[in-house]
Structure 1
Amino acid sequence: MEKNFFKETCPTSPLQRFADVSEIADTVAYYASPLSSPTNGASIRVDGGI
């Protein structure tokens, strides 16, 4: 189902798959950490480039 979805509905997606829960968690951890201090006011999309 996932392969067909990306083939038919989102063929331009760079990942060609859904994001994994751990990838979302990694992003949240990054933005909650001091490492993200230079990132201010940006909208953060974790959608694999869709």
Structure 2
Amino acid sequence: MHTELDFAFRRDGETVRSGGLVYATVSAEGRAAIALPARLVEMLGEVRSIRPSR
């Protein structure tokens, strides 16, 4: 499982740069992806896309 964290830098209301990070969680055994822990989702904050749907 993973989630993407998109961000944008704005100057005077204009987006001048954007990017993103992908958070992935893997089981302790390293064999499979697992759901993101609720605490991590809570820390990342509100889910709101700044990019067009992919």
The question of a shared fold, defined as TM-score above 0.5 by the shorter chain, is answered with no
Which is richer in helix?
1
Instruction: Calculate the TM-score normalised by the size of structure 2.
Output: 0.24
Instruction: Calculate the TM-score normalised by the size of structure 1.
Output: 0.24
Which is richer in strand?
2
Higher relative contact order (CA 8 A, sep 6+): 1
